[in-house]
Amino acid sequence: MADHEKELKKDLKGALASIEKQFGKGAIMPLGQRSNMEVEGITTGALSLDLALGGKGLPRGRIVEIFGPESSGKTTIALHVLANAQKEGGVAAFIDAEHALDPSWAKRIGVDLESLLVSQPSYAEEALKIAEMLVKSNAVDVIVIDSVAALVPKNEIDGEIGDTHVGLQARLMSQALRILNPAISRTNTCLIFINQIRQKVGVMFGSPETTSGGLALKYYSSVRLDIRKTTGIKDGETTVGTRVKAKVVKNKVAPPFRVCEFDMMHDRGISVEGDVLDLALEEKIVEKSGAWFNYGNARLGQGRENVKQHLRDTPSLLEEIRAKVLAIRMTKEMPIEIGTPQEVAEANLDEMPADLLPPPPAKGKKGRGAASTPVVMPDGEIVGESGE
Residues making up the annotated binding site are 68-75
Half-sphere exposure in the Cβ direction for 189 (13 Å, CA): 26
Collect all residues with Cβ–Cβ distance below 8 Å to 122 and sequence separation of at least 6: 157
Interstrand relation of 197-199 and 41-42 (parallel, antiparallel or unpaired): unpaired
Quote the CA–CA distance of 23 and 107 in Å, as a whole number: 44
Quote the CA–CA distance of 343 and 210 in Å, as a whole number: 10
Phi and psi (nearest 5°) for 258? Answer: -75, 145
What distances in angstroms separate CA 355 from CA 167, 170, 171, 208, one per listed residue?
11, 11, 11, 19
Interstrand relation of 209-211 and 197-199 (parallel, antiparallel or unpaired): antiparallel
146, 94 Cβ separation under 8 angstroms: yes
Quote the CA–CA distance of 182 and 274 in Å, as a whole number: 38
379, 213 Cβ separation under 8 angstroms: yes
Q: What are all long-range contacts of 110-114, with beta carbons under 8 Å and residues at least 24 apart?
A: 110/80, 110/83, 110/84, 111/79, 111/82, 111/83, 111/86, 112/83, 112/86
Binding positions for ATP are: 68-75
Quote the CA–CA distance of 261 and 22 in Å, as a whole number: 50
